[in-house]
Structures are given as structure tokens and as C-alpha cells.
A = this chain, B = another copy of it.
Amino acid sequence: MKVRVTVTLKAGVLDPQGKAIEGALKGLGFAGVEGARQGKIIDLILAETSADAARATVTDMCEKLLANTVIENYHIDILG
């Protein structure tokens, strides 16, 4: 089963990487950029065949390793 985890910074958390991207885009002439935030995705392949069980397992993974829940949100998409 393929699962995509999307990890994004919570609102209000400073994002220097996003700011750097925004600055670089403006430097390249893209004047209409009003904001940029960077996050990450983790694509997992699991032996699990049940979507519910996979979601439960991946939630556990996120809490324990994949996301820092103090400053980050995570979202789980079961891709099948």
C-alpha cells in the first residue's frame, strides 16, 4: 500500500527556507510572489493491505518520527 505523508510547518512558525525561496523568486523577476512556505513529503510503501490499519500505523509513525508535532502538522493520504 502506498501512503503519502505531507508535513508542513504550523502557522506562525518562522520558515527561513520559505523566505529564501520567496527572495530568490523575486530576484529572478517573479514580482507577484506574496508568500512561500516549504514543507516535505514522505512516500511510504507498506506491506499492510488494509487502508484503515495503514492510516493507524502511519499516524503512529508521524507522532514518533516523521513530524515534530510541536511545530509541524502532518496529513496522511492513502494512495492505494
- A residues near B (Cβ < 8 Å) are 6, 8, 18, 21, 24-25, 28, 30-48, 57, 60-61, 64-66
Decide if B25 touches A65 in the complex (CB within 8 Å).
yes
**Quick one: closest B residue to A64, CB to CB?**
B28
Return the contact of A43 from the options B36, B60, B61 (Cβ within 8 A).
Answer: B36
Q: Apart from A8-B43, A38-B43, what are 4 other A-B pairs with CB-CB below 8 Å?
A: A21-B66, A30-B61, A37-B42, A37-B43
Decide if B45 touches A33 in the complex (CB within 8 Å).
yes
Decide if B42 touches A21 in the complex (CB within 8 Å).
yes
User: Which residues in B have their C-beta under 8 angstroms from that of A61?
Assistant: 25, 28, 30
Decide if B32 touches A57 in the complex (CB within 8 Å).
yes
